[in-house]
A and B are shown apart, each in its own frame.
Chain A
Amino acid sequence: MSTAYADLDLTNAIIGRAESLDRPVASLDRLRAGRQARVLAVRGDGAVARRLMEMGVVPGAPVRVVKAAPLGDPLEVRVRNYHLALRRSEAQAISVVTSDE
C-alpha cells in the first residue's frame, strides 16, 4: 500500500501549524534528553511507522528521550509510561512538540 508518502506538504503544514501555535517543533532525535514532549506526527513508510504507532507512538502521546546508547545510537525513549529503544533514523520520522513545562 502506498503509505510511503513521507509527504513534505503535510510535514510543512504540521510545522506551520505548530509554529503558529508558538510551540517549538522538532523531530524526536533532536529532542534534548529529559525534555517532555508530545508526538505530533509519525512520518515514513509502512512497516516501521506502523510498528511505532502500534507501540503507542501516535499523535498526542507523551514522549521523552531518556538517553542515548553508549555509541550515540539507539535512543531510549519513554512513551506512555514505558521505555522503548529506537534508532535515530526512526526517531527522525517522529515529529514532536515540546510541552510548556
Chain B
Amino acid sequence: MSSTLQSPSRAAEPSEIKAERATRPPVVALAGNPNAGKTSIFNALTGLRQKVANYPGVTVERKEGVWNLAPDAPPARLIDLPGLYSLDAASLDEQIARDVLTGRMAGTPAPDVIVAVVDATNLERNLYLVTQLLDVGRPVVVALSMVDLAEREGLKIDAAKLGESLGLRVVPVNAKQRRGLDELAHAVLSTVGGETPGVCWRLSDGAEEEVRRLVEGEGIERTEAIRDLYSDELPSDSARRVAVSDSRERLARANPQWWQELVTARYEWIERAASNASSDARNTDRPSATERIDRIVTHRIFGPVVLLLIMGLVFQAIFSWATLPMDLIDRAFGALAEFTRAEMPPGMLTDLLSDGVIAGVGGVLVFLPQILLLFFFIALLEDSGYMARAAFLMDRLMRGVGLHGKAFMPLLSSFACAIPGIMATRTIENPKDRLATIMIAPFMSCSARLPVYTLMIAAFFTGRKLFGFVSVGVLLIISMYLLGIAVAVVVAWILKHTILKAPPPPLVLELPPYRLPNARNIAQTMRDRSWLFVKRAGTVILMISILLWALMTFPRAGHDAASAADAGQANAEASAQLQQSFAGRIGHVIEPFIAPLGFDWKMGIGLISAFAARETIVSTLSIIYNVGKDSDASSPSLIEAVRDAKRPDGSPAWTPLVAVSMMVFFVLALQCMSTLAVVRRETNSWRWPLFMLGYMLVLAYAGSFITYQGGRLLGLG
C-alpha cells in the first residue's frame, strides 16, 4: 500500500522561492478523474495556445497551455495532468501526475495552484481525489463540471455550501457554454500563494492516537505522520522506523485491516460534505439513459453484435472511404515529382528530389486519410464512453490469453498504427500485462501493410472469384488480418505462461455514462495523434528514402540512364545500375537465404528497405522496376512491372504463391523502426525491442517458408 501524502512541508519553504514565485507566471495544474470533463475545460481555458509533448523518458502525454487569468495579471502556465482516480501511483499515469504535483518531475515546476475538476454527477468518487490533492499541500480550487447534467437527473448541488464544507473555492464551470471560466480564473488568482485547509478528515480514535504519538514523538507534521503510518515503505530514519512499525503493529492488533481506514475516513468525510451541500432527488429505480442504452449495447447477444457492427464500420471506412483522398494525395505527389523533373535540369539532384524525397514522403503521407479516419473513430468511441463497454465485453476473451480487457483498445488502435497503440497501453496498470500487450501489438495488421497487400492483390488476384462471387482479394486481406490476430493470441498465451508469467490481472474499470462526443476534443485528438505520424514520415522515412536512393544510385554504373535515347535502353541501363549498386549487392548476398521463401534479390532489396518502414517496399519496388521515372504516359505501371518482372532464367519472378508468401512475411515481421523506437522508450531498455525484432523475424521467416514450400508441395506455384 502506498500513500499520497508526499508533500514537502510548506512551512519549510525558503523565502527566496516565494519571492521568485511572485515574479514568474503562476503554474496551475489541472487534475481530475477520467471522464470528468477535464479536457473540455483545458481546451476552453487555453484555446489553441497549447503544446503537446511527452514527459521525459516515458510516452505519457504532457499537455501544457497558456491561460489568461485576467487582463492585468500575467498569464498562467496550465498543465493538464493525465486523468486519474487517485494519487496512489497504481498506473504510470498516476505516478506521473503525483510527481508533477509534488514538483519532482524534471522540467515541470511544482504547481502554485491545483485546479481539481469534479464531476457533479459523480460527486463522491470525484472528491476522493480532492482529499488526496489537499494532502499535497498546495492551494486547491474545485471546478465543478456537469452541473447541468446533474440537475437534469435531479441532483442539486450548492457550490458555495460545498466549498464551505470542503474549505475550498468551488466554481461551477460549463466549458461548452464558456460559463464560470472567469470565476475560475478569479478563484485561482485569489488563491495563489494562499493557504490550504489541509487535512480535515479524521481517523478512528485509535489511529488518531498513533498519529498524535508520532507527531509528538518524532516532531513531524500530521500529514507526514499519516504518510509514514500508511505508506508502503517505512521511513529511512531508524528511530522513526521503529516508532512507525510499533504503531502499525498496535493498529494491526486491534484491526487486521487497519490500513483501510485511510480510505474509509476520507469517504466518510466526503459523504458528510456532499450530503450537506446537495439535495439528491435522483430516482435510482428508474434506469438512466445510459442504463437503457446499455440494455442493448452490453446485452448478452446484441452487445457482441453491436461491437462487430462498429468494428465493421470502422474497417469499411478505412478501406473504402479513404481511397478517394488517398488517390488524390498519390496523384498530387506524382504530379509534384513530374513537375520537379520537368522544371529542373536532369541530373543527380533532380533524381534525388523526385525519386528519393518526393516519392518517399508521398508514399507515407498517402496513409494520412486512413490514420485520420481511424483516430476519428477511436476518439469518438472513447469520448462517447463506448470504449469501456468494448473492454467490458472483450475482457473474458482477452483474459483467456492472459490479457486485460483494457488491452482491447490499444490492440484495436494498432490496426491503424502500432505506435499509438503501444502508447495507449499505459492505461494498463500491471507492467507484465502491459509488456505482453506491447509485444503482440505489431501483429495487428497496421495501415502500413495495406499498400503491400493492395499491390500483391492488384497484381495477381484482381477479378478472381471463389465460387463465382467471393472476391479472392478480399478473402486474402481478411486472412492476413486473421493470421496476425491468431499469431498474436498464441504469442500472448506463450508469453504470459513463460517470461511474463503473472496471475490474471484485476479488472476495475469505470463504465462512464454515455455522453455526446465533443467535436473539438475529437478534432484535437485527431490532430495531435496524426501529427505524430506525419512527424515520423517527415523525419525517419525521409532519411530512409534518401539513404535508399543513395544505395541504389552508387556506385555509378557508368552511363546515366536518364540520358538514354529510348525507353527500352533506359530501363536496361537502370536495371544494370541497380545490379551494380550497393543495394543490388546486398540483395544478391541475401538471396540464398530468402530463396526458400520464393523471393529473389530484387525483393530482397525491398525487404531490406521495408525493415525501416513497411510501406517503403512499394517505393523501393517502383525504383527497382524503374516505374514512374519515365514520363511517357504509356509506361508500365508498378502493377504491370511486378507482373512482368522476370528471373534470370526468364520465368516470372512473382507468382500468386510468391505474393501470398510476401504478404505472410509482412504480417509477421516487425518492419518498422519507429515501433522499435517507441518500444525502447516504453520499456526503457533495448532488450525488449530487440527481442521483439528477433522473434517476429523468426516467425515471419517460418510463416513465409511454410507458405511457399507448402504451396509448392500442393502444386500451387
Residues of chain A having any CB pair with chain B under 8 Å: 1-3, 5, 7, 9-10, 41-43, 46-56, 58-59, 61, 66-67, 69-74, 76, 80-87, 89-90
Contact A58 B388 (CB under 8 A): no
Contact B257 A70 (CB under 8 A): no
Answer whether A51 and B267 are a contact pair too, CB < 8 Å, given A7-B256, A84-B511. no
Among A1, A55, A71, A73, point to the contact of B508 (Cβ < 8 A): A55
CB of A76 to closest CB in B, whole Å: 6
Among B90, B256, B392, point to the contact of A47 (Cβ < 8 A): B90
Contact A90 B507 (CB under 8 A): yes
A50's nearest neighbour on chain B, judged by CB, is B1
Among A9, A69, A72, A90, point to the contact of B298 (Cβ < 8 A): A69
Given pairs A81-B282, A85-B510, 15 additional interface contacts (CB within 8 A) = A3-B1, A50-B259, A56-B267, A69-B392, A70-B299, A70-B300, A70-B303, A71-B397, A72-B396, A76-B392, A82-B510, A83-B512, A85-B388, A86-B508, A90-B507
- Which chain A positions have C-beta within 8 A of B397? 71
- Which chain B positions have C-beta within 8 A of A81? 121-122, 124, 282, 284
B511's nearest neighbour on chain A, judged by CB, is A83
Contact A83 B395 (CB under 8 A): no
Contact A2 B252 (CB under 8 A): yes
Answer whether A58 and B264 are a contact pair too, CB < 8 Å, given A66-B291, A71-B396, A74-B405. yes
* For the complex of A and B, 4 pairs with smallest distance between CB atoms: A71-B396, A83-B511, A53-B263, A5-B256
Among A53, A58, A69, point to the contact of B396 (Cβ < 8 A): A69
Can you name 9 A-B residue pairings with CB atoms under 8 Å? A9-B256, A56-B267, A58-B264, A74-B507, A80-B124, A83-B512, A84-B508, A85-B388, A87-B506
Is there a chain A Cβ closer than 8 Å to B338's Cβ? Answer: no
CB of B150 to closest CB in A, whole Å: 10
- In the assembly, what is the distance between CA of A55 and CA of B124, in Å? 9
Among A2, A51, A66, A74, point to the contact of B395 (Cβ < 8 A): A74
Contact A54 B263 (CB under 8 A): yes
A49's nearest neighbour on chain B, judged by CB, is B260
Is there a chain A Cβ closer than 8 Å to B566's Cβ? Answer: no
Among B125, B248, B298, point to the contact of A76 (Cβ < 8 A): B298
Contact A53 B122 (CB under 8 A): no
- Which chain A positions have C-beta within 8 A of B122? 80-82
Among B301, B396, B510, point to the contact of A84 (Cβ < 8 A): B510
- Which chain A positions have C-beta within 8 A of B507? 74, 85-87, 90
Contact A67 B396 (CB under 8 A): no
Question: What is the interface residue range for chain B against chain A?
Answer: 35 or more
Among A41, A46, A54, point to the contact of B85 (Cβ < 8 A): A54
Contact B257 A55 (CB under 8 A): no
- Which chain B positions have C-beta within 8 A of A43? 257
CB of B433 to closest CB in A, whole Å: 13
Answer whether A1 and B509 are a contact pair too, CB < 8 Å, given A54-B88, A58-B260. no
- In the assembly, what is the distance between CA of A7 and CA of B507, in Å? 23
Among B300, B303, B304, B506, point to the contact of A51 (Cβ < 8 A): B506
CB of B658 to closest CB in A, whole Å: 41
- Which chain B positions have C-beta within 8 A of A10? 256-257
Among A48, A72, A85, A89, point to the contact of B392 (Cβ < 8 A): A85
B280's nearest neighbour on chain A, judged by CB, is A81
CB of A66 to closest CB in B, whole Å: 7
Point out which of A52, A71, A89 has the most chain B C-beta atoms below 10 A from its C-beta: A71
- Which chain A positions have C-beta within 8 A of B291? 66
B265's nearest neighbour on chain A, judged by CB, is A58
CB of B95 to closest CB in A, whole Å: 14
Contact A54 B128 (CB under 8 A): yes
- In the assembly, what is the distance between CA of A43 and CA of B294, in Å? 30
- Which chain B positions have C-beta within 8 A of A1? 1, 232, 248, 259
Is there a chain A Cβ closer than 8 Å to B290's Cβ? Answer: yes
CB of A65 to closest CB in B, whole Å: 13
CB of A1 to closest CB in B, whole Å: 5
- Which chain A positions have C-beta within 8 A of B282? 81
Answer whether A80 and B298 are a contact pair too, CB < 8 Å, given A73-B396, A85-B388. no
Point out which of A42, A46, A48, A81 has the most chain B C-beta atoms below 10 A from its C-beta: A81
B258's nearest neighbour on chain A, judged by CB, is A3
Is there a chain A Cβ closer than 8 Å to B391's Cβ? Answer: yes
B122's nearest neighbour on chain A, judged by CB, is A82
Interface hits, B504-547 → A, CB 8 Å: 504, 506-513
Contact B264 A59 (CB under 8 A): yes
Interface hits, B65-97 → A, CB 8 Å: 85-86, 88, 90
A46's nearest neighbour on chain B, judged by CB, is B1
Contact A85 B252 (CB under 8 A): no
- Which chain A positions have C-beta within 8 A of B303? 69-70
Contact B290 A83 (CB under 8 A): yes
**Interface 1/0s, chain B 300-312, versus A by CB < 8 A?**
1101100000000
Is there a chain A Cβ closer than 8 Å to B173's Cβ? Answer: no
CB of B429 to closest CB in A, whole Å: 8
- Which chain B positions have C-beta within 8 A of A54? 85-86, 88, 128, 263
CB of B321 to closest CB in A, whole Å: 30
**Interface 1/0s, chain B 118-146, versus A by CB < 8 A?**
00011011001000000000000000000
Contact A51 B508 (CB under 8 A): yes
- Which chain B positions have C-beta within 8 A of A42? 260
CB of B202 to closest CB in A, whole Å: 15
Point out which of A1, A70, A74, A87 has the most chain B C-beta atoms below 10 A from its C-beta: A70
Answer whether A67 and B506 are a contact pair too, CB < 8 Å, given A2-B252, A58-B260, A76-B392. no
- In the assembly, what is the distance between CA of A52 and CA of B508, in Å? 7
Interface hits, B252-272 → A, CB 8 Å: 252, 256-257, 259-260, 263-264, 267
Answer whether A90 and B506 are a contact pair too, CB < 8 Å, given A54-B85, A54-B86, A56-B124. yes
CB of A4 to closest CB in B, whole Å: 10
CB of B451 to closest CB in A, whole Å: 36
CB of B193 to closest CB in A, whole Å: 31
- Which chain B positions have C-beta within 8 A of A82? 121-122, 125, 510, 512-513
Is there a chain A Cβ closer than 8 Å to B101's Cβ? Answer: no
- Which chain A positions have C-beta within 8 A of B504? 87, 89
CB of A59 to closest CB in B, whole Å: 6
Is there a chain A Cβ closer than 8 Å to B225's Cβ? Answer: no
- In the assembly, what is the distance between CA of A3 and CA of B678, in Å? 36
Is there a chain A Cβ closer than 8 Å to B621's Cβ? Answer: no
CB of B271 to closest CB in A, whole Å: 8
Contact B393 A50 (CB under 8 A): no
- Which chain A positions have C-beta within 8 A of B429? 47
Among B263, B299, B393, point to the contact of A58 (Cβ < 8 A): B263
A70's nearest neighbour on chain B, judged by CB, is B300
- In the assembly, what is the distance between CA of A87 and CA of B209, in Å? 38
- In the assembly, what is the distance between CA of A74 and CA of B408, in Å? 15
Contact A74 B396 (CB under 8 A): yes
Answer whether A69 and B257 are a contact pair too, CB < 8 Å, given A53-B264, A74-B405. no
- Which chain A positions have C-beta within 8 A of B267? 56, 58, 61
- Which chain A positions have C-beta within 8 A of B512? 82-83
- Which chain A positions have C-beta within 8 A of B396? 69-74
B231's nearest neighbour on chain A, judged by CB, is A1
- In the assembly, what is the distance between CA of A43 and CA of B510, in Å? 20
